A and B are shown apart, each in its own frame.
Chain A
Amino acid sequence: MSPTVFFVAIVSSMLVNNIVLLRFLGICPFLGVSKRSETAVGMSAAVMFVMVVSSVLTYLIYYYILEPFEITYISTIAFILVIASLVQLVEMFIKKISKKLYKSLGIYLPLIVTNCAIIGIAETNVREGYATEYGVLPGLGVATVSALGAALGFALVIFAFSTIRERLEAADVPPAWKGIPISLVIAGIMALAFLGLEGLV
């Protein structure tokens, strides 16, 4: 396996298959916390951390527990349990080590449990069949890198979107379009722009 595999994985999950605009995962936080760029950055950091750790854990659980015992059909339950308990753990851990970090990330952590981007990436890692393509352990590397790429793509899009929304507040928008409707149309235009990156990898 050559190192280009990792590069391709990160570019493809960050830009070509952008998780928010092209795969429609994580729309709720995308619309919910993108009013100010500061909160967008906080949410992105929390998502990045939980996404990478949870995709490693769910991958290991899938291939070392669920598959040997032939109970892969409960993967959804297992994954969501892992994510929910991981979020709880991370919350307690951050609270213990840094009050400041907890203040800036803490409020986003409970929201992450129902963030479909996290479980979506966990499911995708398994469905893409990295393990059959590269072997179980090298596949873990590819899965982790593409989870990181997806999180970076999330951060990129939510930050760009939040800066647009900050400027939108000063704009003269017709009353019926104020708030979410005009934001969705803008997201659509951003998705059109991202379509241009198709074929990059």
Chain B
Amino acid sequence: MAKPKKDPGLLAVFTKGIIKENPVFVALLGLCPALAVTSSLETGLGMGVLVVFVLTLSNIVVSLIRRLIPEEIMIPSYIIVIATFVTIVEMLTEAFAPALFDSLGIFIPLIVANCLIMSRAVAYASENNVGRSAIDGLGMAVGFGLALGLIGLTREFLATGAIAYGVFIPLPVEGAILGFDIAPLNMEVFVGPAGGFIVIGVWLAVFNAIGLYKSRKRKEAWDRWVEKKKREKAEKKKQKAMESAGGSA
């Protein structure tokens, strides 16, 4: 049984947030935390985990109450739902991950003003059922977290020449790659504010370039296909003409 076109599978709802509609690199949402807390892989991923909680839960609740809320007070009501979950997550982080709480600082309460969360609430959760909204929130948040991790990884590596993720990951490249001392090449500017802007800009350009390359390839393939069809049509015509000529002869 074929699915109707407007109803993509749950897996597609999940994965679209990670690559095709990545919040940071495609939709450019939530750039404030993407710049502010990505001076290292650890804080970037930590913020990603918090957003996973807030976005999934707020999408679920928004989807549950979507028929009860009149349109005029939609944004204030949703923002209270989001703020409630942010406060819960803030308290939990303070209790169970105090180090992360300290390094994220003011950016934990600021999750409430993260445009990614509000835009998913308005654009998706207010129009879809609970299950789909939860999956959508989860996918978007995972995409967001991975993007933050990628930015943090780049910045931390360029600035310190090493990746220090707590005590869980040993540091295979600290100070040296293949015996080559990289300490003099450390660029501390990448931990600072300027590095954040530049790293995101460069990654965006890289993904743009990949997108442009793909669309060019697709266009070439399409042109080839059109050409082939044209040739086939012309050949068929010729054959038909020959056949009819042979038949009349």
How far is A178 from B211 in the complex, measured between Cα atoms in Å? 13
- Quick check: is A181 within 8 A (CB to CB) of the other chain? yes
Size of the chain A interface, CB-CB below 8 angstroms: 47
Q: How distant is the Cα of A134 from the Cα of B25 in the complex, in angstroms? A: 44
Which chain A residue has the least Cβ–Cβ distance from B209? A176
Give the size of the chain B interface in residues (CB under 8 angstroms): 42
A66 → chain B closest CB, angstroms: 13
B87 touches A73 (CB 8 A): yes
Q: In terms of DSSP, what is the predominant structure of the interface of chain B? A: helix
B36 & A23 in contact (Cβ 8 Å cutoff): yes
Whether A113 contacts B75 in the complex (CB less than 8 A), given A24-B196, A185-B202, comes out as yes
Q: Tell whether, in the assembled complex, residue B194 and residue A189 are in contact, meaning their CB atoms are under 8 Å apart.
A: yes
Task: List the B side residues contacting A185 at CB < 8 Å.
Answer: 197-198, 201-202
- In the complex formed, the residue of B with least CB distance to A30 is B31
* B115 at the binding interface (Cβ < 8 Å): yes
**Are B189 and A192 closer than 8 Å at their CB atoms?**
yes
Max chain A C-beta neighbours (<10 A), residue from B31, B90, B212? B31
CB of B242 within 8 A of chain A?
A: no
Cβ–Cβ < 8 Å partners of B131 in chain A: none
> Within the complex, which residue of A25, A74, A80, A183 is in contact with B79, where a contact is CB–CB below 8 Å?
A80
Tell me whether B109 is interfacial, beta carbon within 8 Å: yes
Contact B106 A195, beta carbon cutoff 8 Å: no
Binding site for A on B (CB under 8 A): 28-29, 31-33, 35-36, 75-76, 79-80, 83-84, 86-87, 90-91, 106, 109-110, 112-115, 118, 189, 192-198, 200-202, 204-206, 208-209, 212
